[in-house]
């Protein structure tokens, strides 16, 4: 009955610009638009919906309540990290290893937190 997450929504003061950031930096593609809303799809089929925001942005700290980051799965961590650096992505720290997994945190064009991850072995 319940098949999984179809998409996750991010509210942005400039949805078109943020959608373009995901296209330019992470090779997503814009696959649907309506009334200022943009759906962007990753190579694995996962989607984000970027909607117009209202009001002021709340602080974005790593452990504030709510959704805290989006994890971007990669098969070659070093190459992906180098490519993001080349594309001008703003990193929030240096790469590190956690339980055998390689990670590095960065922010998107609106300051939302993301990270690259290459797992030593897939989660069960």
Answer whether residue 60 shows pLDDT above 80.
Answer: no
Q: What is the pTM of this model?
A: 0.93
What would you report as the CA-atom Rg of the chain, rounded to the nearest whole angstrom? Answer: 15
3-state SS class at 22? helix
Cα atoms found within 13 Å of the Cα of residue 19, Cβ hemisphere only: 22
- Tell me the mean pLDDT in the region 17-25: 98
Q: For 85, phi and psi rounded to 5 degrees?
A: -60, -45
List the structure tokens of 88. 């001008």
Residue 71 pLDDT grade (very low, low, confident, very high; cuts 50, 70, 90): very high
- Tell me the mean pLDDT in the region 40-45: 96
Task: Look at residue 103 in the predicted model and tell me its pLDDT.
Answer: 98
Domains of the chain: 1-53 (3.10.180.10), 68-124 (3.10.180.10)
Question: Number of H helices and number of E strands within the chain?
Answer: 2, 9
């Amino acid at each position: 009955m319940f098949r999984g997450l179809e998409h996750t929504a991010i509210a942005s003061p400039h949805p078109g610009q943020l959608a373009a950031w995901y296209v330019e930096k992470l090779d997503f593609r814009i696959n649907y638009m309506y009334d200022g809303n943009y759906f962007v799809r990753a190579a694995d089929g996962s989607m984000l919906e970027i909607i117009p925001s209202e009001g002021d942005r709340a602080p974005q700290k790593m452990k504030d309540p709510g959704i805290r980051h989006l994890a971007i799965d990669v098969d070659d961590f070093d190459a992906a990290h180098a490519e993001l650096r080349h594309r001008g992505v703003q990193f929030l720290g240096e790469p590190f290893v956690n339980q055998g997994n390689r990670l590095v945190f960065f922010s998107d064009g609106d300051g939302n937190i993301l990270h690259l991850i290459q797992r030593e072995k897939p989660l069960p």
